[in-house]
Amino acid sequence: MKKRIEAVNKELDCFSPSNNDEIEQFRISMLGKKGQITALLNDFRDVPPSDKKEIGQLINILKNRTIELIENSKISYKNISPKSESIDLSLQQEFIELGSRHPISLVKNELFTIFQKLGFSLSEGPEIEDDWHVFSALNFPKEHPARDMQDTFFIEKNPDILLRTHTSSVQVRTMETQKLPIRVICPGRVFRNEAISARAHCIFHQVEGLYIDKGVSFADLKQTLLFFSRELFGPDTNIRLRPSFFPFTEPSAEMDVSCKLCGGKGCSVCKHTGWLEILGCGMVDPTVLELNGIDSKVYSGYAFGMGLERIAMLKYGVKDLRLYFENDIRFLNIFKNYL
């Protein structure tokens, strides 16, 4: 009898239920009709009178211990049960880690917000393109170096199918499909066959803009870019336009913004010039309008294009382009506080 009591006590020592069903099963196995403690109580009749006092006490202790254990298990299980309404303030809080937005997405969203204020809408197009949309419709001469194998990734040696090298291809698609006037910004990934380093990458992101209407002038372009630069980099920002060349714009320019870090005085970021180059722009070449079925005697337009990695670099001080593509959690965590 004593051995049986000891065995049950050992079972109680090991009892650690993880749900209500297990507690109930345990109760039945101990105190149910065929339970071990019920059996001990039944067999108590056959205990010799001399041992009755001692065994009786042991069985009583065992029974009370069992009942207490079952009750306590129910309470502690309740505390961790999600269905429970009672709150255990001593339990440690598990925080859900919030993710962060990628710096390129942050910049892209900011640009959308700025250009939305000026009435621009969003236009997107495919990454795998044809020669017409990336080059020919944009007035690139057949021998232009940008078509060269060194710059362009061609798909399966087919010179007509390629990865777009700029999102100007979306502007062509927009001219094909949308009614005039057109006022769009075109964000997207672009690809160029460059060796990967801290300052160059074979994938990057652009946002290009296109506005075509009657009487659009270079002054409109300049004012739009000034507004955009001040919204993005702050109200004290100045811009300057330097003459440049693109096959699809005439005249063409490159735009610099005054260096935010040194206030235009000159520092290592702006290479002591006080200016930072951020985009290319110009008036849409009349040939491009005609190639896309738009009467260049009635309509005129401007276009601009910029690299998002460069803007993110200036805003967040990211000096190595490769960081944008490596998905290193330590880098991404830096942007947790930006939304």
135 touches ligand PHE by CB under 6 A: no
Q: Does residue 280 belong to the site contacting ligand PHE (CB under 6 A)?
A: yes
Task: Kindly tell me the burial class for residue 338, based on how many C-beta atoms sit within 10 Å of its own C-beta (0-12, 13-18, 19 or more).
Answer: middle
Considering the complex, what minimum distance in angstroms separates the CB of residue 279 from ligand PHE? 7
For residue 208, the minimal CB distance to ligand PHE (Å) is 5
Name the 3-class secondary structure at 190.
strand
Give 10: exposed, middle or buried? Use CB within 10 Å, 0-12, 13-18, 19+: exposed
Q: Which of 166, 173, 205, 310 binds ligand PHE (CB under 6 A)?
A: 166
Which residues are CB-neighbours of 56 under 8 A, at least 6 positions away? 44, 47
**Rounded Cα–Cα distance for residues 131 and 160 (Å):** 5
Among 100, 168, 169, 292, interactor with ligand PHE by CB under 6 A? 168
For 151-169, the DSSP string reads T-PEETTEEEEEE-SSTHH
User: Contact at 8 Å (CB) between 103 and 324?
Assistant: yes
For position 228 contacting ligand PHE by CB under 6 A, the verdict is no
Residue closest to ligand PHE (Cβ): 305
Position 134 contacts ligand PHE (CB under 6 A): no
Could you tell me which residues are beta bridge partners of residue 163? 128
Does position 246 bind ligand PHE by CB under 6 A?
yes
Q: Could you say whether residue 208 binds ligand PHE (CB under 6 A)?
A: yes
For 94, phi and psi rounded to 5 degrees?
-100, 115
Closer CB to ligand PHE, 131 or 208, in the complex: 208
In the bound state with ligand PHE, the residue whose beta carbon lies nearer, of 24 and 220, is 220
Residue 187 or 282 having the CB closest to ligand PHE: 282
Identify residues 291-310 at the interface with ligand PHE (CB under 6 A): 303-305
Q: CA dist 271 to 257, 261, 276, 277, Å? A: 13, 12, 9, 11
Size of site (CB under 6 A) for ligand PHE: 11
Q: Of the two residues 62 and 303, which places its CB atom closer to ligand PHE in the complex?
A: 303
Nearer to ligand PHE by Cβ, of 62 and 276: the residue is 276
**DSSP label at 246?**
E
Binding site for ligand PHE (CB under 6 A): 166, 168, 208, 246, 249, 280-282, 303-305
